Amino acid sequence: MLRKLSVIAAVAGLLTAGAAGPALANGHPLPAKDVHWSFEGPLGKFDQKQLQRGYKVYREVCSACHSMNLVSFRNLGDKGGPFYDAKYKNPNDNPYVKAIAKDYEVADIDNETGDTIKRPATPADRFPSPFPNEAAARASNGGALPPDMSLLAKAREEGPAHIYSIVTGYTAPPKGLKVGDNQHYNPYMPGDLTSSWSGSHEHVPPGGFIAMAPPLKAGQVTFDDGTPSTLDQQAKDVSAFLMWAAEPKLEERKKMGLAVLAYLILFSGLLYAAYRKVWKNESH
């Protein structure tokens, strides 16, 4: 739909304004901010302290509206996870994980009576959704649906850097941009602002509207490890945590990759030596 609109707008711009070429380059969001992550590169690993801080931001802020329904509590104690402890090979035994789960209430059915009940969660449960259904979620959020966060970091082209940029990127809307109720201007949000822009079509501001109000501010979350709770720190930590939630096997994958590549390079080297030896006396 957006694409159709932008194509129509672009073609219309070309036909009417004649030399309206640059209009095509407008409407794109700003590229995500450049962030350094501990999990980048072939040797990258999650920073466990950062994941713990990120989890706290998720727990205290994001989870009020965003579900994370592909992640179970036990995953927090998996290898590479925020609360992994080598002492507890089975994450279901991890006391942190048990305590975190107990804080949540999940829906269940009473085995005796068949009534629907609420009970404290166990590590085997998934994170419960903050809303019972999509309609309830939309009703509480001005008609917008807060996306599920399990895969958010992989479902956006620029990954966790996109989440970081959105959360830290709110700015005052430029003059001439009509911002609707329950809408917020964010230059990193994809969209097309042409219809809300009163200025020239050649200078449509970058980005789009987002229904979420700026979610984080300095000091909102108190970090247990004493890290200063700046907006930047919170955004970085929660983005890293969401990357873990989206790709919990990242560390395992990169570690295995090194072994596989080392093996393949050695094996190919051997095969090359064999090839040279076999073909030594044959012209080709």
Partner 1 sequence: MSGHSTYEPKTGFERWLDARLPIVRLGYDSFVDYPTPRNLNYWWTFGGILSLCLASQLITGIILVMHYTPSADHAFASVEHIMRDVNYGWLIRYMHANGASMFFIAVYIHMLRGLYYGSYKAPREVLWLLGCVIYLLMMATAFMGYVLPWGQMSFHGAVVITNLFGALPVVGPSITTWLWGGFAVDNPTLNRFFSLHYLLPFMIAGVVILHIWALHVVGQNNPTGVDPKSKADTVPFTPYATVKDGFAMGVFLILFAIFVFYLPNALGHSDNYIPANPLVTPSHIVPEWYFLPFYAILRAVPDKLMGVLAMFGAIACLFALPWLDRSKVRSMRYRPTMKIHFVIFVVACCILGLCGAKLPDDPVIPHLTTFSVMGSDLNSFVWLSRLAALYYFAFFLIVMPFLPLSEKTLPVPDSIASPALSHPAAVPAEATAAPEMKG
Q: If you search the block for the tokens 């970091």, which residue do you land on?
A: 153
* Token pair in block for residue 40: 């980048």
Q: Which stretch binds partner 1 (CB under 8 A): 1-9, 114-122, 170-178, 221-229?
A: 1-9
CA distances from 122 to 38, 61, 98, 113, 130 (A): 30, 22, 6, 21, 17
Tell me, by CB under 8 A, how many residues bind partner 1.
52
11 binds partner 1 (CB under 8 A): yes
Distance CA 165, CA 168 (A): 5
Give the one residue of 30, 144, 151, 211 binding partner 1; rule: CB under 8 A. Answer: 151
284 binds partner 1 (CB under 8 A): yes
Name the minimum Å distance from CB 224 to partner 1.
27
Name the minimum Å distance from CB 205 to partner 1.
17
Distance CA 201, CA 222 (A): 45
Grouping H, G, I as helix, E, B as strand and the rest as coil, residue 160 is helix
Distance CA 99, CA 65 (A): 22
231 binds partner 1 (CB under 8 A): no
271 binds partner 1 (CB under 8 A): yes
Phi, psi of 45 (to 5 degrees): -140, 155
* Residues in contact with partner 1 by the rule CB under 8 A: 1-3, 6-7, 10-11, 14-15, 18-22, 24-25, 42, 70, 75, 147, 150-151, 154-157, 159, 190, 246, 248-249, 252-254, 256-257, 260-261, 264-265, 267-268, 271-272, 274-275, 278-279, 281-284
